[in-house]
Amino acid sequence: MPAFGKVYLIGAGPGAQDLITLRGARLLAQADVVLHDALVTAEMLELCPQAVKIAVGKRCGQLSTAQAFINKQLVDQAGKCALVVRLKGGDPMLFGRADEELRALEAAGIEVEVVPGITTALAAAAATQQPLTQRGVARSVAFFTSSTAPAHPEQTAVPDTDTLVQYMGGREAIVTARRLLEQGRPAATPVVVIENCSRADQRVLRLTLGTLAQGLGETHGPVLVMLGEAMRARPQQALGGTSERAEELQRQA
């Protein structure tokens, strides 16, 4: 018997149970133990009823699990179990701290494999039917977050691309909007905000950059913000995608 089992870093996708990959679902059904993020839904965990489930979530402003503890848990569980899953919302390789977990597992000599998932930006584009690129309008896209390591404050700079997608938006998106206005982006630049993407309580707001700079109001789940001319609503979308909250913000602008 090998000294260690195998660890899989699996992307759970944006939230909906049926948006995980077939490979990810198959491995979940075989897992001995699953260490999962806070963004992984209860419905997703129904795919692994046989597994021991360990919550190791990180949520802004809430009690979170230290990354060093997660790394140790992965190594410890691999010493006890044949198949260990680290289940992450979205895709493990995008804002998922996969590098730190891969390094810890590699240093311990543990075999590890990454199973990709649908990252929230692509799911949000699909859910809102709003392509991130558009011929003649947007040929570049940046995915970014305001979170950064203390030693690298320069990483908080807003990327210079046609379409901007901010993960973990919320309050941080307001700061981004104000920075973009200061840099000369038009206040009328279209913005699409999606909360709880792909879930039953999904909410979509269609705003402008100027309106976003005033605030988003209260949110109750993960928020992703898409900005740029590619977000401009088509005629058929103009009425259907704006919530009462967005209309109220537009009136205040």
Distance (Å, whole) CA 60 – CA 172: 11
Task: Say if CB 64 and CB 57 are below 8 A apart.
Answer: yes
* Catalytic-role residue among 6, 58, 99, 162: 58
Helices (H), 82-241: 98-107, 120-128, 171-182, 209-212
Please provide residue 203's backbone torsions phi and psi, each rounded to the nearest 5 degrees: -135, 135
Q: What pairs with residue 226 in β-bridges? A: 165, 192
Distance of CA 122 to the CA centre of its chain: 10
* Catalytic-role residue among 32, 37, 80, 201: 37
CA atoms within 13 A on the CB side of 126: 11
Distance (Å, whole) CA 187 – CA 210: 4
Active-site annotation holds for 37 = yes
Active-site annotation holds for 99 = no
| Cα distance between the two ends of the chain | 66
Q: Among residues 105, 86, 99, which one has the least CA distance to residue 4?
A: 105
By annotation, the residues acting in catalysis are 37, 58
